[in-house]
Amino acid sequence: MILLGVNVDHVATLRQARYRNESNTFGGFVEPDPASMAWLAEEAGADGITMHVREDRRHVQVEDVQRYLEHKKTRLNLEVSLSEDMVKLALSLNPDSVCLVPENRMEVTTEGGLDVVGNLARAKEAVDEFAKKNIPTSMFIDPDYSQLEASAKIGSQWVELHTGSFARAWHDVQKRDHELNVLKKGMEIGLSLGLQVNAGHGINYQNVEGAKKLDRVTEFNIGHSIICRSLNQGLPEAVSTMRRLLNS
């Protein structure tokens, strides 16, 4: 069984398109509400929820995470950067797990994996801090041997492989097969290092047929495509269909 984690960041992106100039502490209900959509996703079969609180709070707000946690039914995978302030924030929210990701102020969504090799000391500090509170930590990385090895070296319990290159290559069969093989190799290396291997970024209702060939991946974290489909079909249908496609 491949697990499905649903990322609700893009619900917050849509909300912030109208409310970005409002106070971070929303005085009343504003829509769309990431917490409410997360609860709907759980009811539809999501195995977990992912939220990314960025340093500049461009989409998910701390209050969204706090509201979700009040009625959480599954588990929260919180994505944050390596910065000291964001690690402290994540510790205060006490999620079920943390995924450390790179941040670029110019990007709308995360584009590329974290350079664990180049940030080895800081990444280890963060992993150690989370370990003190029994919060398992993942590294969002490209399927590169050196990054996988570094993730295992610092004590990360699992990794999330960045599938963006595979997703972009989907309509070019030759490139698609190459990128899938790169991911398969990364998956096998990660497992050989004792890491749980998750994956995500750019997976949609078409390329999921190829992505699920990574059959030893524990969980796919998928957001944008599910939220897009939910605009037409409704979130429960969007989540349940993706979960069925992963395992059919």
Place of tokens 């995360």: 110
Query: DSSP secondary-structure letter at 207?
Result: T
Q: What is the pLDDT at residue 19?
A: 84
d(CA 217, CA 212): 8
Q: What is the pLDDT at residue 103?
A: 86
Residue 43 annotated to the active site: no
If phi > 0 it is left, if psi is from -120 to 50 it is alpha, else beta; for residue 94 that is left
Question: 245: helix, coil or strand?
Answer: helix
Backbone Cα Rg of the chain: 17
Neighbours of 145 (CB within 10 A): 12
Percent of the chain with pLDDT over 70: 93
- Domain containing 241 equals 3-247
pLDDT digits (tens, 9 = 90+) for 60-98: 999 999 999 999 999 999 999 999 999 999 999 999 999
Mean pLDDT of 157-184: 97
Q: What is the pLDDT at residue 112?
A: 81
> What CATH number corresponds to the domain at position 94?
3.20.20.70
Residue 10 annotated to the active site: no
Mean pLDDT of 31-60: 96
Residue 129 annotated to the active site: no
Percent of the chain with pLDDT over 90: 88
Mean pLDDT of 148-169: 98
Query: DSSP secondary-structure letter at 112?
Result: S
pLDDT digits (tens, 9 = 90+) for 199-248: 999 999 999 999 999 999 999 999 999 999 999 899 999 999 999 999 98
Which of 10, 42, 52, 219 does the annotation list as catalytic?
52
Question: Is the torsion defined by CA of 228, 107, 77, 120 positive or negative?
Answer: positive
Query: DSSP secondary-structure letter at 118?
Result: G
Q: What is the pLDDT at residue 200?
A: 98
State both tokens at 190.
Answer: 């990660």
Q: For the chain, how many structural domains are there in total? A: 1
Contact 33, 66 (CB under 8 A): no
Which of 10, 59, 162, 201 does the annotation list as catalytic?
201
pLDDT digits (tens, 9 = 90+) for 8-34: 999 999 999 888 776 545 555 678 999
Q: What is the pLDDT at residue 105?
A: 59
Q: What is the pLDDT at residue 109?
A: 54
Which of 42, 59, 79, 162 does the annotation list as catalytic?
79
d(CA 137, CA 216): 19
